[in-house]
C-alpha cells in the first residue's frame, strides 16, 4: 500500500527501518519484523546502508511483503548506474512494491569495500525525476515502456539538524520539484532545531516523518556526535543516559528520551520514522510511551 | 590536448541578456583548441549591442599571479560590468571566479579532453573536462571536482561541520557553492530544472 494514501487520509504515519543481514538467511529478521513491527504502517529496507555490503533491499522487501508487511524500497545511487536503477524499479513494481525512498547514498570509502568504484551516475534528485518519468511510461533514455507504467509513492530524505540547513532546504525544494511526495528525516535529537526547520519546510507542502533513533548508551551517542552527519545529541541527554541506573542496558532511558522527542515534534510533522538499529524489540514500547 | 568549445549561443544569451559584461579570452596553452572565430563573432555582436565594458585576450589566466596582474589594469571595466564572461577551459573560469568573489563569473565554453599533453595549469583548481561545464549554475565552483560524489543537484546529507564525509580536511563543495551563490545573488540557480549528467562526451552519441 502506498504510504502517500495514509498521509492523504490524515494519519500520523509510522514507519520503522530494518537492515538486511550480511548473508542469505532472513528467517530471524522476518520473525522480528512480524513480532515487533506489525503495528507500524510501513517498513523501510535499507540499501547496503553505510556502504556495507548486505543482502539486497529489493529481495528483502519482497520477503516482507509476502509476510503481510508493507515495505518501503530504499534505493541508493552509489552502487548502480541509471540502467540498473530503472531496472530495479521495474522489478519492484512487478512484485507489487509501491513505496520507494530515493537516496544518493554514502560514499563507498565509508563502508566495508573502500576499494569499490562509487557510481553516482544519478543522485537523489535525478533518481526521483527518473521514477517520475517511468510513471509516465518512458525511461530516462526517452524510450517507451511496454504496458501500464508503474506507480510509486516517491519518498526522499532530508537532514533537518544539519549545520548546513539552508543547503538542505534548497536540496529539499529540488527534490519536491523532481517529484518527491513525502520525506523522512535524519535522526532528530534536538526538537527545537527540527521545529525551526519545519517552519521553513512546510512551504513545500509535503508530509515529513521525523526520524528517531533510540539512544542505546552514552558511548553510542558520543560516537554518533563524532561520526554521523546531521546528528547532534545534546550534553544533557548524554548525562541522562549516563545516570541510568540500569546503564541503559534495558533501554528504558533510551526509550523515554526517544518518546519525549516524538511527543515534542509530533504537532509539527505528519509522521515518525524509527531507525531502531537492532532494537526493533523496543519499537512497540516506544510507540506506546509516545502515545501513538 | 583539450578542446574548449563555445556553449550554444542561446545559453550565452540567457546568461548575458540585458547585462553589462566584461570578457576574458584565454589563449594560453598551445595544447588547447580555442574557438577563436565563434568567440570573436559572438563578442562582436555583444559589443555592437553596447553590452560590453571591456575585452581582454591574454594567456595563462589559470596562474593566479599572472591573472591578477592582467586584470589589474581593467578593474574599473570589471567593476562596471554585471558579470564576467570567460572564454577558457574550466580551470581558468574557476581561478577568476575565486578572485572576483562578488561578481558572477560565467563559463562561455565547455571543455573536452583529447589524448596527449594537457596544457600548463597550476592544479590549484581542477577541471575534469567533462564536456558540459556546470560552473554557470554553481557560482564558478566545479561540482564535479569539488564534491567527492560529483553531485550536480545539491548537497548530500554527509557534510559534518561543513566538511566532506569522505575527507574531513576538505570543505563540502556544495557548502562552498551555496555560500558563493548567496554572495553573488544567484541562489535562483538552485531552482533550475533537474540536472542529469551526460557521460557520452563523444559527439556521435551525445547528439
The three three-digit cell numbers of residue A41, written as one number = 504502517
Task: Flag whether pLDDT at A189 surpasses 60.
Answer: yes
Task: Flag whether pLDDT at A231 surpasses 90.
Answer: yes
Residue range B135-151: average pLDDT?
A: 96
Given a contact cutoff of 8 angstroms between Cβ atoms, the answer to whether A74 and A57 are in contact is yes
**In the prediction, which pLDDT does A251 show?**
81
- For residue B190, what is the nearest residue in chain A, using CA coordinates? A170
Question: Is residue B33 classed as helix, strand or coil in its secondary structure?
Answer: strand
Q: Give B194's contacts in chain A (Cβ within 8 Å).
A: 125-126, 128-129, 174, 177-178
Cross-chain Cβ contact B157/A174 below 8 Å: no
Residue range B59-87: average pLDDT?
A: 94
Q: Give B191's contacts in chain A (Cβ within 8 Å).
A: 173-174, 177
pLDDT bucket at B207, cuts 50 / 70 / 90: very low
DSSP string, B79-108: HH-SEEEEES-HHHHHHHHHHSTTS-EEE-
- List all residues 6 or more positions away from B18 whose beta carbon is below 8 Å from its beta carbon: none
Q: What whole-number distance in Å separates Cα of residue B139 and Cα of residue A24? A: 47
pLDDT bucket at A244, cuts 50 / 70 / 90: confident
Number of domains in chain B: 1
Q: What whole-number distance in Å separates Cα of residue B54 and Cα of residue B63? A: 21
**In the prediction, which pLDDT does B122 show?**
65
Q: Give B197's contacts in chain A (Cβ within 8 Å).
A: 121-122, 126
Task: Flag whether pLDDT at A81 surpasses 90.
Answer: yes
Q: Which residue segments constitute the domains of chain A, with CATH numbers given?
A: 3-158 (3.20.20.220)
Task: Flag whether pLDDT at B201 surpasses 90.
Answer: no
Vertex A249: Cα angle to A244 and A250 (nearest 5): 90
**Beta-strand pair A99-103/A153-158:** parallel
The DSSP symbol for B76 reads H
Write out chain A in H/E/C secondary structure.
CCHHHHHHCCCCEEEEEECCCCCCCCHHHHHHHHHHCCCCCEEEECCCHHHCCCCCHHHHHHHHHHCCCCEEEEEECCCCCHHHHHHHHHHHHHCCCCEEEEECCCCHHHCCCCCCCCCCCCCHHHHHHHHHHHHCCECCCCCECCCCCCCCEEEEEECCCCCCHHHHHHHHHHHHHHCCCEEEEEECCCHHHHHHHHHHHHHHCCCEEEEEECCCCHHHHHHHHHHCCCCCCCHHHHHHHHHCCCCCCCCHHHHHHHHHHHHHHHHHCCEEEEECCCCHHHHHHHHHHCCC
- List all residues 6 or more positions away from B90 whose beta carbon is below 8 Å from its beta carbon: B107, B111, B125, B127, B128, B129, B133, B135, B142
**In the prediction, which pLDDT does B117 show?**
73
Q: What is the mean pLDDT of chain A?
A: 96
Q: What is the mean pLDDT of chain B?
A: 91
Q: What whole-number distance in Å separates Cα of residue B207 and Cα of residue B193? A: 20
Task: Write the CATH number for B174.
Answer: 3.40.50
Question: Is residue B182 classed as helix, strand or coil in its secondary structure?
Answer: helix
Percent of chain B with pLDDT over 90: 76
Task: Flag whether pLDDT at B114 surpasses 90.
Answer: no
Given a contact cutoff of 8 angstroms between Cβ atoms, the answer to whether A262 and A290 are in contact is yes
Element (H, E) at B22: strand B21-26
Determine the residue among B194, B195, B198, B199 to mutate to test chain A binding: the one whose Cβ has the most chain A Cβ atoms within 10 Å: B194
Q: What whole-number distance in Å separates Cα of residue B57 and Cα of residue B59? A: 7
Residue range B19-47: average pLDDT?
A: 92
**In the prediction, which pLDDT does A138 show?**
98
Segments forming the whole domain that contains residue B160:
2-206
Given a contact cutoff of 8 angstroms between Cβ atoms, the answer to whether B118 and B98 are in contact is no
Residue range A152-173: average pLDDT?
A: 96
The three three-digit cell numbers of residue B176, written as one number = 562552498
Residues in a beta bridge with B5 = B110
**In the prediction, which pLDDT does B30 show?**
77
Given a contact cutoff of 8 angstroms between Cβ atoms, the answer to whether A33 and A276 are in contact is no
Cross-chain Cβ contact B155/A123 below 8 Å: no
User: Tens digits of per-residue pLDDT, B162-198?
Assistant: 999 999 999 999 999 999 999 999 999 999 999 999 9
pLDDT bucket at B2, cuts 50 / 70 / 90: confident
**In the prediction, which pLDDT does B113 show?**
85
Given a contact cutoff of 8 angstroms between Cβ atoms, the answer to whether A246 and A255 are in contact is no
Question: Is residue B36 classed as helix, strand or coil in its secondary structure?
Answer: helix
Q: Which of B149, B152, B190 sits opposite A118 (nearest CB)?
A: B149
Percent of chain A with pLDDT over 70: 98
User: Tens digits of per-residue pLDDT, A5-39?
Assistant: 999 999 999 999 999 999 999 999 999 999 999 99
**In the prediction, which pLDDT does A172 show?**
98
**In the prediction, which pLDDT does B203 show?**
58
Q: Which of B165, B178, B194 sits opposite A229 (nearest CB)?
A: B165
**In the prediction, which pLDDT does B202 show?**
60
User: Tens digits of per-residue pLDDT, A207-218?
Assistant: 999 999 999 989
ipTM entry: 0.93
User: Tens digits of per-residue pLDDT, A28-76?
Assistant: 999 999 999 999 999 999 999 999 999 999 999 999 999 999 999 999 9
Amino acid at each position: 500500500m502506498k504510504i502517500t494514501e495514509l498521509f492523504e487520509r490524515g494519519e500520523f504515519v509510522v514507519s520503522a527501518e530494518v537492515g538486511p543481514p550480511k548473508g542469505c538467511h532472513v528467517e530471524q529478521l522476518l520473525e522480528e519484523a512480524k513480532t515487533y513491527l506489525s503495528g507500524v504502517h510501513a517498513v523501510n529496507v535499507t540499501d547496503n546502508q553505510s556502504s556495507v555490503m548486505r543482502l539486497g533491499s529489493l529481495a528483502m522487501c519482497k520477503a516482507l511483503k509476502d509476510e503481510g508487511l508493507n515495505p518501503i524500497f530504499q534505493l541508493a545511487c552509489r552502487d548502480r548506474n541509471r540502467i540498473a536503477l530503472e531496472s530495479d524499479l521495474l522489478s519492484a513494481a512487478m512484485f507489487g512494491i509501491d513505496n520507494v525512498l530515493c537516496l544518493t547514498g554514502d560514499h563507498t570509502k565509508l563502508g566495508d569495500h573502500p576499494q569499490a568504484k562509487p557510481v553516482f551516475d544519478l543522485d537523489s534528485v535525478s533518481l526521483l525525476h527518473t521514477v517520475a518519468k517511468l510513471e509516465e511510461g518512458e525511461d530516462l533514455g526517452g524510450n517507451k515502456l511496454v504496458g501500464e507504467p508503474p506507480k510509486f509513492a516517491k519518498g526522499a530524505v532530508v537532514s533537518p539538524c544539519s549545520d548546513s540547513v539552508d543547503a538542505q532546504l534548497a536540496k529539499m525544494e529540488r527534490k519536491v520539484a523532481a517529484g518527491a511526495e513525502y520525506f523522512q528525516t535524519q535522526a532528530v535529537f534536538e526538537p527545537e532545531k527540527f521545529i525551526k526547520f519545519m517552519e521553513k519546510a512546510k512551504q513545500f507542502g509535503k508530509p515529513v516523518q521525523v526520524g528517531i533513533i533510540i539512544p542505546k548508551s552514552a558511548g553510542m551517542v558520543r560516537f554518533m556526535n563524532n561520526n554521523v552527519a546531521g546528528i547532534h545529541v545534546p550534553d544533557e541527554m548524554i548525562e541522562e543516559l549516563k545516570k541510568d541506573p540500569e546503564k541503559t542496558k534495558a533501554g528504558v532511558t533510551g526509550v523515554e528520551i526517544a518518546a519525549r522527542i516524538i511527543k515534542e515534534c509530533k504537532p509539527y510533522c505528519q509522521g515518525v520514522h524509527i531507525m531502531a538499529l537492532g532494537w526493533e524489540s523496543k519499537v512497540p514500547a516506544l510507540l506506546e510511551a509516545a502515545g501513538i | 590536448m583539450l578542446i574548449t568549445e563555445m556553449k550554444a549561443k542561446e545559453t550565452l544569451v540567457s546568461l548575458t541578456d540585458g547585462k553589462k559584461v566584461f570578457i576574458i579570452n584565454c589563449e594560453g596553452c598551445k595544447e588547447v583548441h580555442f574557438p577563436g572565430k565563434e568567440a570573436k563573432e559572438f563578442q562582436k555582436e555583444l559589443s555592437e549591442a553596447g553590452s560590453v565594458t571591456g575585452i581582454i585576450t591574454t594567456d595563462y589566466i589559470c596562474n593566479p599571479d599572472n591573472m591578477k596582474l592582467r586584470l589589474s589594469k581593467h578593474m574599473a571595466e570589471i567593476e562596471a560590468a554585471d558579470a564576467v564572461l570567460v572564454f577558457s577551459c574550466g580551470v581558468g573560469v574557476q581561478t577568476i571566479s575565486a578572485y572576483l568573489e562578488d561578481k558572477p563569473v560565467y563559463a562561455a565554453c565547455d571543455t573536452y579532453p583529447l589524448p596527449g599533453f594537457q596544457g600548463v595549469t597550476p592544479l590549484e583548481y581542477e577541471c575534469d573536462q567533462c564536456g558540459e561545464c556546470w560552473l554557470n549554475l554553481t557560482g564558478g565552483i566545479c561540482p564535479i571536482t569539488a564534491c567527492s560524489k560529483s553531485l550536480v543537484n545539491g548537497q548530500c546529507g554527509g557534510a559534518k561541520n561543513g566538511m566532506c564525509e569522505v575527507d574531513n580536511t576538505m570543505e563540502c563543495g556544495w557548502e562552498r557553492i551555496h555560500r558563493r551563490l548567496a554572495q553573488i545573488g544567484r541562489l535562483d540557480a538552485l531552482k533550475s530544472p533537474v540536472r542529469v549528467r551526460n557521460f557520452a562526451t563523444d559527439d556521435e552519441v551525445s547528439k
